[in-house]
Structure 1
Amino acid sequence: MVFHPARLQNATLNVVDRTHISTKHLPAKWQLNDEWYNYGKTYWNDVHVLITIDETSYIGGENGNIHPMSWYREFDGGRSFYTEISHTDVTYQDPMYLQHLLGGIQYAMGIDSN
């Protein structure tokens, strides 16, 4: 993470892969209030992006049209899952977020994503 804009802002997330175990329950457009990060390195080529953020929906985005918020990848015989969502107590009371997080943990454990 290089920089993040004003602490908490409402933004629109685009769920670009709705077949993964962590995203299949989510709407195509997901409105959330959270802290949004900008990344200094573009490494999206070696990860499978699940969710991006619409930079026109909040102030301070610097990653352009492809600004991932959640992704996964297989690496060195294992699996990794990342989600940038989770900076407020309210988020941890949201059933959609909790299912997203659980799905990511299940993926990392090797549970089929379909």
Structure 2
Amino acid sequence: MVEILVYTRTAEYRHASIPRAVEVLGELGFAVRHTEDPDEFAGALGARPRAVVFLSTSGEVLTDAGREGLAAYVDGGGGFVGVHAAACTEYGWPYFGELLGARFAGHPAYQPGRVLVADRSHPATRHLPSVWECTDEWYDFDADPARDPAVRVLARADESSYSGARTGPAHPLIWCRSQGAGRVFYTSLGHASSAYEDPAFRTHLAAAVTWAARVDS
């Protein structure tokens, strides 16, 4: 069983979906160590979990030891998965912005829209249709992560399919990249508890974690 460290500390907005999302990761077959304690998180990195998941974290959630430990973990070959509000996290730590590749810059109302799947060769998107209709918050970002040639943008938002978009036509939603010897995956989806009951999203999430943990092949 793949051991993962799931961190859900929130210093700003807290998503009501967090408890169900943690349960679902266990249902998907992962051995989940879950914490919201920054000291416990920093210590748990020493056990070298197969992947670290920041699950709708928000605000400044790490100690200096946690920041140092997370950077060493990922650069040394660990896997990192950011889900939804992970992009609203650690604005004061430049490394974390570089790790994700973009930061949250707002969102319109929760509403239906269309995800345009650009790369179906990745394990986390190969099961999806080229146009995936779902309901979420449709995060806007402060930059296009694809400015870094090492980033693979796997899916973008169809901004014509919902109201209030502000990112532009090249609107990233899901992407992955390498960081040092590690793997990084980010999905902006997963706002509501209902997302974690959707078979397509559950498969997407499971494949993202196994890819980051290097057990995808």
TM-score, normalising length: structure 1: 0.93
Segments of 5+ residues of structure 2 without an aligned counterpart are: 1-103
Question: For 1:13, which of 101, 115, 119 is the aligned residue?
Answer: 115
CA contact (8 A) 2:115 2:157 kept: yes
2:127, 2:180 → 1: CA distance?
Answer: 29
Question: Residue 130 of structure 2 is aligned with which of 9, 28, 31?
Answer: 28
* Structure 1 residue ranges, 4+ long, deviating more than 6 angstroms after superposition: none
Hey, what does 1:51 align to over in structure 2? Answer: 155
- 1-side partners of 2:216 and 2:195: how far apart? 25
Q: Which has the higher helix share?
A: 2
Distance 1:37 1:26 in 2: 20
Looking at structure 2, the residues matched to 24 and 79 of structure 1 have their Cα atoms a distance apart, in angstroms, of: 18
1:66 is the counterpart of 2:170: yes
Greater mean alpha carbon deviation, residues 66-75 or residues 41-50: 41-50
Deviation at 1:85, TM superposition (A): 0.5
After superposition, give the CA deviation of every residue in 1:56-90 in whole Å (9 maximum; x if it has no partner). Answer: 10111111111111000011110000000101111
1:4 maps onto 2:76 in alignment: no
* Residue 111 of structure 1 pairs with residue 204 of structure 2: no
TM-score (norm 2): 0.50
Alpha-carbon distance between aligned partners in 2 of 1:35 and 1:102, rounded to the nearest angstrom: 21
Counterparts of 1:25 and 1:15 in 2: how far apart (Å)?
Answer: 10
Matching of residue 39 in structure 1 with residue 141 in structure 2: yes
With over 3 angstroms needed to count, the CA separation of the structure-2 counterparts of 1:2 and 1:101, relative to structure 1, is same
Contact 2:207 2:216 in 1 (8 A): no
The amino acid that maps onto 1:62 is: R
The alignment-based identity, stated in percent, is 40
How far apart are 1:2 and its partner, in Å? 1.3
Larger radius of gyration between Structure 1 and Structure 2: 2
Q: Secondary structure at the match of 1:36?
A: coil
- Supply the distance in 1 between the matched residues of 2:155 and 2:167 (Cα, whole angstroms): 14
**Counterparts of 1:64-103 in structure 2 under 5 Å?**
64-103=168-207
Q: 1 CA distance for matches of 2:195 and 2:145?
A: 27
- Unaligned 5+ segments in structure 1 are none
Question: Which of structures 1 and 2 has the larger relative contact order (alpha carbons within 8 angstroms, sep 6+)?
Answer: 1
- 1:103, 1:51 → 2: CA distance? 15
RMSD of aligned C-alpha atoms? 1.2
